A = this chain, B = another copy of it.
Amino acid sequence: MNHNAILPENPDKLHEECGVFGIIKALAPGEPAGSDPSFSRDPAFDTYNALYALQHRGQESCGIATCSPNGILSLRKGKGLVPEVFASRDLQKMAGATAAIGHVRHANDLMDANPNNAQPIVAHHASGSIALCYNGKLVNSAALKTEMESRGAIFQTTNDAEIITNLIVREHLRTNTLEDAVLNAMEYMIGAFSIVMMDREKLIAARDPNGIRPLCVGKVGDCYVFSSESCAIQSLGGTLIRDIAPGEVAVVDRGELKSYPCAVRHAKSALCMFELIYFARQDSVIDGAPVGVVREEAGRCLARFAKTEADLVVGVPDSGVVAAMGYAKESGIPYGMGLMKNRYIQRTFIQSRKIQRKKSIRIKLNAMSAVVKGKRIILVDDSIVRGGTMARIVQLLRDAGATEVHVKITAPPFVHACYYGTAIPNERHLAAYGRTEEEVCQLICADSLQYMPLGGLEHLSKKLNLRYCDACFSGNYVLPIPKLRSEPLYSVTYPEEETET
């Protein structure tokens, strides 16, 4: 496979780490798993399509584990987008599974850039085999690892999923059921995690007590599914049942969905605000909130908080467009498609350094003169990370004839690191770090700049009846901050990652 230096998802954007999915046939009680010959859906193919719908949550690697009718777990994973890792014949080989789980991943550390770190992980233990994948980040992973190593455990990846698997397996030695092992293990795990796992009989989902990362359950035909986002369920033609509650362990066993609360109490519900503002797909519904509606409302919010004279509202594709439409509706200023994105953008390669970065943005975005010429523009986007991209977009609009460019950001300025699974560059590189709003405005050469105030988020979340984590804006962390992880001690590479130069 020749990836030839694919243009990374905008390096000037935040990154979600992962998306998870799981599906199991809902057998009638008493019916042995995998016995139905008229199996109408194919879990592996459904997982493929679901991962494809979750692709925005991770483009670095992906994997699918399946459970065959006779209870054997198989795994295929690798680097690349879902359709690059799975060819038609791979799915044919996986056909006929009774259950499957899948994962898409964005490495949050450079040291994680090896395919062995791809998920799911499949492990054989004393009483069988399990496959597991998760989205999130443990705060105490180093401590857990050290503790397990001191009892003789070895680690072959630098991945929290391996730690979680070890933990659950250890607990399983003294519990009767896998779900009990998961419930026990959750007492040791501190951080953000949305886990989907299976053994030869059950599909299990678990969400951390704070509910930092999303996780929901739905039904597709006669199958139960767990998914990071509801859009994956919809893409299969299924229906969302509900969100997995913070601290809940949900189990599908012989066709029945059961639910257990974990023993951790008094945890504050704290959905990552960036899931709603930027990460999640607009057509997902998370913890009851339709993402597109939240974003439109965020745009409206901005328009209400301050009034700016302008002729046209323009959204930065793709994620800023709905917010811009909300702004337009609230403000009465017309919306216009002033920026056009090359729809083949995922495949071009990294600009040579010789080409000035200022020019490189043109390959991805084009400002439409016919639309913006002579106009005062309200430019709406979801975030400013380092500031470089926004500065180039502002310039693009000016070059196309815009007379003024007023930038509106639907999130507050973020200045704190995230320890729960969002990859934020080092604080020093953040545009808002150590700069006033005015200084950021100068940095991006805009005529004015307006961030969403923290109060705006509060207002928004009240309306949606939502409790959220805003640590990256406010510094108020819902969980303790981990100690620094030590240096990586080994790395693994497989050939496929090397077809690139």
Contacts and interface: CB of A to CB of B under 8 A. Distances in A.
A84 interface: yes
A340 B281 contact: yes
A30 B84 CA distance: 50
Interface in A94-133: 115, 121-126, 128-129, 131
Interface residues of A, number: 112
Nearest to A6: B83
Contacts of A293: 370-371
A436 interface: no
A355 B150 CA distance: 44
A87 interface: yes
The binding surface of chain A is classed by DSSP as mixed
A115 B346 CA distance: 23
Given A78-B494, A349-B88, A496-B495, A362 B237 contact: yes
Contacts of A49: 348, 363
Contacts of A86: 4
A285 B371 CA distance: 12
A396 B172 CA distance: 45
Contact of A75 (B81, B158, B346, B491): B491
A282 interface: yes
Q: Select the residue from A231, A237, A334, A352 with max chain B CB neighbours within 10 A.
A: A237
Contacts of A355: 45
A2 B340 CA distance: 29
B83 A499 contact: no
Contacts of A125: 149, 152-155
Given A80-B495, A82-B348, A237-B362, A490 B75 contact: yes
Copies of this chain, tallied across the complex? 4
Contacts of A292: 337, 340, 368, 370-371
Contacts of A1: 1-3, 80, 84, 495-496, 499
Interface string A359-381: 10011001111110000000000
Contacts of A4: 83-84, 86-89
Interface in A283-306: 283, 285, 290, 292-293
Contacts of A496: 1, 78, 494-496
A49 B342 CA distance: 11
Contacts of A343: 56, 318, 343, 346
Interface string A229-267: 001001111000000000000000000000000000000
A440 interface: no
A90 B293 CA distance: 45
Interface string A63-79: 00000000111111111
A322 interface: yes
Contact of A283 (B42, B84, B90, B340): B340
8 contacts: A52-B344, A75-B490, A76-B498, A82-B348, A126-B149, A235-B362, A283-B366, A344-B346
Interface of A: 1-6, 42, 45, 49, 52-53, 55-56, 71-90, 115, 121-126, 128-129, 131, 146, 149-156, 158, 165-166, 169-170, 173, 231, 234-237, 281-283, 285, 290, 292-293, 318, 321-322, 325, 329, 334-335, 337, 340, 342-344, 346-350, 352, 354-355, 359, 362-363, 366-371, 487-496, 498-499, 501
Given A4-B89, A237-B362, A283-B368, 16 more contacts: A2-B499, A5-B88, A53-B342, A55-B342, A56-B344, A71-B489, A75-B490, A82-B344, A89-B498, A115-B494, A125-B155, A126-B152, A235-B366, A292-B340, A293-B371, A499-B499
